Amino acid sequence: MSEIVKMRDVRFEPGLFVHFSSGTVLDNLLCSYKGLPKGVNYMIIGDPGVGKTTIILDLIANIERQAVGTRILFISAEMNEIDLAVYVQRYPKFGNLNIMFVESDFDGDRHHLQEIEAVLQQGWDIVAIDSFHELQGIVKEEENITMRLAETKLLSLIKRHNKAGNDRRTNTTFLTIQQVTKSGAFVGSNRLKHMITAMMELRLDNPKNIYSDRYIVFSKHRRGDVGVKLYYSLSSTGDVSFDEQRYRQELQLRNLQNNVTSQLRNFATQFDNLFNQEINN
């Protein structure tokens, strides 16, 4: 039976509510209080070629530079060392990240799930996974289990470390890239969706044109706003470039729309009150 509690009686470590800062405008989207929270799960989806891996690597590399001593791990189930070498040439700061490569073992002698469990037990502040679906498939094959059971094992592992079930008693935040369908829809079960604190979407203004403008937007967010777009560019070398001016304009337009909507509601309420008074009289 689940325990019944009152939130006023639940105690947390004060440091749990100190967020990680990347030092970029992206912090404003990550949380209403700016920065990446602790002990949460952010899922990243997007159109093919939009730069999901690059955005996440850039984010965690910036956090590592801003907060010295932050323990960050990147688990790559999509790319090997040779693939990532190309990223490091263009973004040298990625070379300082701790990376665990997880590749399918065709000989059947390895069990990456146990290796991941052992590594996570050390305690990490942030763990990025690329991608959940690929890692799920590897676990399925190596453990000879169903995809659903593989998902259950991975979600249980994530939940345990969210709640500081590791040697450092650290509330781990997970940034997990997930695959999408051809139409751009999220791939995953309802259980996976329930575990997500926020859904970060990377999209193209024109999905049929890979060269069209790219932006980040949250479609689900328990810690911040949804629907606000942050445009970015991958054309420069060294850092992802965010269009902060366009973002500020987007916020101003959003606030203006909210104010107009609020005024219209007030006028509608006043009209209803006057109309009802006339009827009653």
One domain, residues 110 and 172? yes
Q: By the 8 A CB rule, do 199 and 206 touch? A: no
Q: Is residue 190 part of a domain?
A: yes
Q: Judge if 191 and 267 occupy the same domain.
A: no
Q: Cβ distance 23 to 29 under 8 Å?
A: no
Residue 3's alpha-carbon distances to 11, 110, 152, 156, 271, in angstroms, are 15, 39, 22, 19, 48
| Digit-coded pLDDT (tens) for 119-162 | 999 999 999 999 899 999 999 999 999 999 999 999 999 999 99
State whether 173 and 272 are in the same domain: no
Q: What is the pLDDT of residue 276?
A: 67
CATH code for the domain in which residue 209 is found: 3.40.50.300
90 and 188 both lie in a single domain: yes
Residues 143 and 236 in one domain: yes
SS3 18: coil
Question: In this structure, are 121 and 33 located in the same domain?
Answer: yes
pLDDT at 235: 85
**Residues 179 and 274 reside in one and the same domain:** no
User: Distance between CA 160 and CA 123 in Å, rounded?
Assistant: 11
Domain for residue 217, yes or no? yes
Extract the tokens encoding 52.
Answer: 């999901």
Residues linked to residue 99 through DSSP beta bridges, in sequence order: 74
Q: State phi, psi for 195 to the nearest 5 degrees.
A: -75, -15
Based on the fold, state whether residues 106 and 196 are members of the same structural domain: yes
User: Which range, of 9-13, 94-98, 113-117, 273-277, averages the lowest pLDDT?
Assistant: 273-277
pTM of the model: 0.88
Q: Which amino acid is at 92?
A: P
User: Is 220 found in the same domain as 275?
Assistant: no
Q: What is the pLDDT of residues 51-89, one digit of tens each?
A: 999 999 999 999 999 988 899 999 999 999 999 998 899
Does residue 67 sit in the same domain as residue 205? yes
Average pLDDT for residues 5-30, to the nearest whole number? 90
User: Is 141 in the same domain as 249?
Assistant: no
Pairing of strands 126-130, 72-76: parallel
- Same domain for 20 and 148, yes or no, is yes
Domain count, the chain: 2
52, 25, 54, 21: which is closest to 249 by C-alpha?
Answer: 25
User: Residue 31's pLDDT is what?
Assistant: 94
Range of the domain at 96: 7-242
Chain centroid to CA 223: 11
